[in-house]
Amino acid sequence: MTASPAGELAVEPAGGQGVRLGGEEVLRVEDLAVHFPIRSGLRRRQVGAVRAVDGVSFSLAAGETLGLVGESGCGKSTTALAIMGLVRASAGRILFRGEDILSCTRAQLRQIRRQVQIVFQDPQGSLNPRMTVERIVGEALEIHGLADRRAIRARVAELLGLVGLAPEHANRYPHQFSGGQLQRIGIARALALDPHVLVLDEPVSALDVSIQAQIVTLLQRLQEELGLAYLFISHDLSVVRHISDRVAVMYLGRIVEIGAASGVYGTPTHPYTQSLLSAVPVPDPAAVQRRTRILLQGDIPSPSAPPSGCRFRTRCWKAEDRCAEEVPDLVDRCACDQPSACHFAEVAGAR
């Protein structure tokens, strides 16, 4: 994986790395909704709600990487936080190996949290500046009572080596590291409890392109060695394309298209997906001349007052009266194993 002169990330495709598609399902999200109340007046009565996530469903298999993409504010990170229990879900189910996280007891949830861990976007902000790396990485082991002080020290050294850091780094503080090193520490912390699933919330967006390449390569190697499942959240379509087995595209709180990465990128069927891909920079000037850029009109509607029917209709060049009246189901309309939430879905360039 390298950075091209044009600044675009170039990595080896995900296919063939470790345990891939067809594994046991480890995570399933069904009709997940996260609504934040809008309150007004002296009595703080609820007058509306921000529908940050509004009916999201997907599954994740062991050893698989599912990329979740979309514009800023579409609900990607809120979905991640809901899965981790860091924000309260308003509706739906989140199942880990068939067990609904949202209905678990405190003791059951404690066990599940060992198996599902998160890596945050900002490595500087997600690490306690007052704690040494040894305490940061080993804290989860101490909280869960899995090891004594000597065993924690040995485990931390092992984890630092696994992510490409030296054992002597354990005695340093976060301010003594670069951004890429801090993200490696965050990954080591997430791996401390031997999880089955990692939720990666924009894990490389705060890093330079060359450092992004190193972190993505590290994640691919860890997945191959440990059989991890990744929910990889990003707005960078180039990164998602190379690390993901499947890709889900979100718009205004809902998934509008989902399928194999090769299909979503090669033959997108939803107008929103087509517009996103038309804006991805490519280093080949001839390819730039051949493709048609799709410019969307208008702004993204407010999640507190989404459009009726299809939420993308206010910016879609295919919109008709039906789009304002009927909510399109996420179904495979093009017989290409790519469910798309569009009444007029078609493979890009079919006409």
- Decide: residue 240, CB within 10 A, 0-12 exposed, 13-18 middle, 19+ buried: buried
**Same domain, residue pair 92 and 227:** yes
**Is residue 20 predicted with pLDDT exceeding 90?**
no
**Same domain, residue pair 199 and 322:** no
Q: Categorize the per-residue pLDDT at 289 as very low, low, confident or very high, splitting at 50, 70 and 90.
A: low
Q: Which structural domain, as residue segments, surrounds residue 136?
A: 23-38+48-244
Where is the domain boundary, 244, 279, 304? 244
**Same domain, residue pair 231 and 314:** no
**Same domain, residue pair 239 and 280:** no
Provide DSSP, 275-332. HHHHTS--S-HHHHHHS---PPPS-PPPTTSPPSSSTTGGG-TT--HHHHHSPPP-B-
**Is residue 5 predicted with pLDDT exceeding 70?**
no
Query: So what's the pLDDT on residue 6?
Result: 37
**Same domain, residue pair 233 and 279:** no
More confident residue, 21 or 133: 133
Query: So what's the pLDDT on residue 287?
Result: 66
What pLDDT, in 10s, does the model give residues 46-79?
A: 999 999 999 999 999 999 999 999 998 899 999 9
What pLDDT, in 10s, does the model give residues 176-231?
A: 999 999 999 999 999 999 999 999 999 998 888 889 999 999 999 999 999 999 99
Query: So what's the pLDDT on residue 42?
Result: 87
Please give the mean pLDDT across all residues of the chain: 89
**Same domain, residue pair 113 and 167:** yes
Query: So what's the pLDDT on residue 105?
Result: 87
In a domain, 111, yes or no: yes
Q: Categorize the per-residue pLDDT at 11 as very low, low, confident or very high, splitting at 50, 70 and 90.
A: very low
Taking alpha carbons only, the member of 123, 118, 194 closest to residue 155 is 194
**Is residue 149 predicted with pLDDT exceeding 80?**
yes
Number of domains in the chain: 2
Query: So what's the pLDDT on residue 288?
Result: 62
**Same domain, residue pair 191 and 280:** no
Beta carbons within 8 Å of 318's beta carbon, 6+ residues apart? 271, 342, 344
- Residue whose structure tokens are 């029917």: 309
**Same domain, residue pair 151 and 27:** yes
Q: Categorize the per-residue pLDDT at 295 as very low, low, confident or very high, splitting at 50, 70 and 90.
A: confident
> Can you give the CATH number for the domain in which 101 is found?
3.40.50.300
In a domain, 5, yes or no: no
The whole-number average pLDDT for the span 93-97 is 95
**Same domain, residue pair 207 and 77:** yes
**Same domain, residue pair 99 and 188:** yes
Q: Categorize the per-residue pLDDT at 298 as very low, low, confident or very high, splitting at 50, 70 and 90.
A: confident
Query: So what's the pLDDT on residue 311?
Result: 95
